[in-house]
Structure 1
Amino acid sequence: MRSVILIVVLWCAVAQGQCPVWTPARGEREMTALAQQLNDWDRAYYRQGISMIGDDRYDALAKKYQAWQRCFQPQSDTRQPEWGANGKVLHPVAHVGVKKLADKQSVSRWMAGRTALWVQPKVDGVAVTLHYQRGELVSMISRGDGLRGEDWTKKARLIPAIPQHIPLRDDSLSLQGELFLLMNGHQQAVAGGVNARTTVAGAMRRKGATEVLQNLGIFIWSWPSGPETLTQQLSLLREAGLGRVSDWSKPVDSADDVAGWRERWFRQPLPFVTDGVVIHSMPTAGIYWQSGKNTWSAAWKYSPPTVSAEVRSINFPIGRTGKISVVLNLVPVKLDDKRISRVSFGPLKHWQAMDIVPGDQVTISLAGQGIPRLDEVVWRVADRRHPRIPDTAKFNTLSCLTYTPDCREQLLSRLVWLSSQTVLSMPGISRARWQQLMQAGQLSHLFSWLSLSREQISGVEGMTNVRAEQLYHQFSLSQQQPFKRWVKALGVPVPENALNAMSDDNWQTLLARNSDAWQQLPGIGKKLAGQIIVFLRHPQVQALIVELQHHQREKSMLSMRVIKDRQTQLKAQRQQSGNKTEQ
């Protein structure tokens, strides 16, 4: 009893980080809604041959449901798809499935200690069993749940690629393979999956014959209890009219070999669609095969162009000009060797139109330069709990020039902007450093950092002496930046080309400009000129300009003192030199 309790406790501890933080009642509602949708898709797919959702999206949601079962109904049987209405047929030998390997290192570990290995393309189609008795095809069965599947023998008679008679006269001979759509020079790297599996499944499940059946091939990837060596198997399969597999079975000795074939088949023209490679060793006898129990083969799939992910939470960052954007925080997923845990969604209105809430399932792809991009919502949770969003009326180009709790996000964005290379160029001062100063109460407005002493900076909790000196040094150097850089740092909405053409070098002449004067600069029309004037006349902006002028005067006075001190030193040195000469 104690052992059982310990196991339950440990399981809960592991599952806690993966299970939604829902009440049992909500868990029941969400599971009921998703199960109903999965059942609808199953009926359309298995009974009518209609695919209403992409394979990868369906697979992701089916796994999501099974995860919820482990969280909220751990005693229930794992959900299985609803099969066709024509019943199930027992496979002569169970389909065992194949283990998925994540990367080259995993492949290397799996291959260690195994010999006589070969690799094949993982043909993307529909798995079947061909059953022959004394050389005659007696049945073709869909994979189903691995133990039982649908009887597709009538359709097999209509597929030219499937031999109805073979020269192998065993009393009972089972072959497992993939029904696939014949392609003409298909390049996986260019064209992707093109829904080939869906096309095959649809043709097999529709009533009557379709033209697609004439364009199907069969790829035999397993001969349970067949000859002891791969060479013998391939030779006999070729004699039986099933020799396509012999053209695509390559011996391998290392993970580098596997990676080489995987990359080659990903890019070269092929007669079928693939979704990776499978590494094989010689299996045990077919009488010992059990569904889900496969130790002799493993798959290394290609990275999908998209991946399904669950929305964990939603943030609403506020930019320096007051624009509110949306960031979706995701349950981390891997896409093209990248770990994706968040995706920028864009403007607030876009998010409101798509109505995404935590718990929803979305698909993510990679845009240019590997930037994650949201493609679509594939499932919406039943309980629509919308997060609280910032008040859009509070934020604009003139808001948050001073610190308040509500202004924390926008003021931080302004500070990150002004420290960037194209503005005041303060390398080493990141968003984290500004946050550190803000949390210590050292930043009351946009330029309050100009007044910070070495002692104030070094007194910030967690600030090392080296880092404090770096910040103080960069703050001091920033005052040597030209006037136009400070105009940008303040956030005056002057276009870059107009700023470059502007001759002003002090705040007095800038503030003296009227609408006509502003419109003389490139890229500034009447509307923008009015916006610039409104910005510069705002009381908080005026106060910040006074602050900047004060620091400029202090800098000038300091420079004058330095120059005067230097002149005094030089004069004293000349006098001392003259006295030595007289002596």
Structure 2
Amino acid sequence: MDPQQRIQELTQRLHHLNNQYYQHDISEVSDQEFDAMLAELNQLEKAYPDLAQPNSPTQRVGGTITKQFATAQHRYPMLSLGNTYSEDDLREFDERVQRGLEGAPYSYVCEQKFDGVAMSLHYATGELQQGVTRGDGTRGDVVTANVRTIRTLPLHLHANFPADVEVRGEVFMPNQVFNDLNQEREQNGEALLANPRNAASGALKLQDSALVAARRLRFYAYSVLTPGRHFTSHSESLEAAAAWGLPVSPTWRRCANIQEVLDYIHEWAQKRFELPVNTDGIVIKVDNLRQQDQLGLTAKSPRWAIAYKYPAAAARTELLRIEYNVGRTGAVTPVAHLTPVPLAGTIVKRASVHNANQIALLDLRIGDMVFVEKGGEIIPKITGVDFAARPAGAEPIRYPSECPACGTPLVRPEGEAHYRCPNERGCPPQLKARLEHYVSRKALNIDGLGAETVGRFFDLGLVKTPADIYDLPQRRAELIGLERLGEKSIDNLIAGIEKSKTVPFERVLFGLGIRYVGETVAQKLAQHYRNMAAIMAASAKEMAEVPEVGGVIADSLALWSQQPENQHLVQRLQAAAVPLEVTGEPPKAVSDRLAGLTFVLSGVFENYSREQLQELIQQHGGKITGSISKKLSYLVAGENMGPAKREKATTLKVPIISENELLALLPTAEAD
């Protein structure tokens, strides 16, 4: 088939499948079939780069490197809204609207005020052209490559759209994604992200769009702007946006008067906590667009809209005790048990205090009356103590010196916030948590074997390591005898185990739960070494030279690889036919022009992404390393390269070359 025709077919089909899955929750094909089509399209685009479309579905996974965000002027200023916490203020706002419209009938639209990052999207002839942050309201950063990774956002609109349209909306990180991200950071002893809004904002500022894609951001549209008048009302424009395939939260409502607005506010005061995204209030807008024009603007905000903000969710309750939980990496996390108290739509019984430093900072004592808030309105946390109500004789909390699960003396590695249990092979919570991680969605994703089931199997002694999972099909008769497991469930479980043998190698590597080896690092290691045997044979020094790995990760992985128990685990996984190598051909050799030369790439480059330059070097026989030594052939310097690398290269007399000088080392066709 003609490559151009096939690229067009795959692009249209994948756009349709994405829309069905993310907008309508319909899976028309299996994940494997979808991934196969995406891989085929990616290969065709690499072979015929001039045929690749800017809004190709392959852009969803990112890969674009932005050395510096350009800025763009908003065609329509992105004004801020006036805020109020008072219902009386809302009634006064309604009176001003009534006066401004000289008694003409009017209605409102109420929308949730999502706690994310305001974004302006420009579509031309239905194709996404540009994404720009709010900035100062007049100019913002162009973050188009990062916006394209948002899977709920259509890269091209459906039928009956204006030729030129600007869509305003909110980019946000779903609560569950935020919780997962913080849980992983806590397991690794890293500082927790403050709230989903900051996490979303930070993700949009990342220069590598592949990292943005991993943050799983989402988008809700709340405004449509076009040259000329295409709609008579704001509610009509929202309905049109949804018809074009844009994600519009179904929570908005048209209200006939201010009393219906207040009813909506009261209804959502508690119900908003059921949403997958944080909200901190309600936005009220006059619905009719001509009436909006009639009311006009002040210097900073429109006269036809206002935001009502709910009071911050906080409570005061008694600290009953501290429980210490052991995670997958051995990190011991304190959890406060409280006298149950209503907070932000739920009854809070437990709250996070993060680590020993936080306990000491707050000066917590059992029996204290403590103040509890929801961090980003998600995770309850203790924020302070009512010292006036402290019981007489209350003793400072002593952090345990031994693991609460297995009794092993705890250790606190230098520079880390968490105490850890070093008993990796005998501490039950660690063993169980590693199994739960192995079967999780981002790792092996074994259908029928979720966290609860695998935890139950662990308690029954059926599985202790990931390799034991692959023995379960031979123990079918034994499984049938278990309560709450019918034959159909067991058959689904066995099918899920078999299907897990088709996942990519990098997901297996991630699923092993090696400390510091997250999704991105697993991917980099898999691309570099291509199989588990090569990874386990590499020294820490060699692994530290892999781009984006570094010394801490390399030391952890090398230590893991040296342990006989892990070597035996890998042997058993290999015997069970679990993928332990990258399938497909390695990067095709183009020439040996760079044979015997080693390179370090640092900074952001103008014409190629770092990954593309790495691939070029390898295609021409060169090797990539991550550290600078006397043996290094060249340091390839992009913009914003760290001064320490430049200084070390200069001291060791390592040649420092630019991107163009690197390309000049290649055969003429590549340099051109």
Shorter chain as denominator, the TM-score bin is 0.3 to 0.5
- Give the TM-score normalised by the residue count of structure 2: 0.35
- Give the TM-score normalised by the residue count of structure 1: 0.40
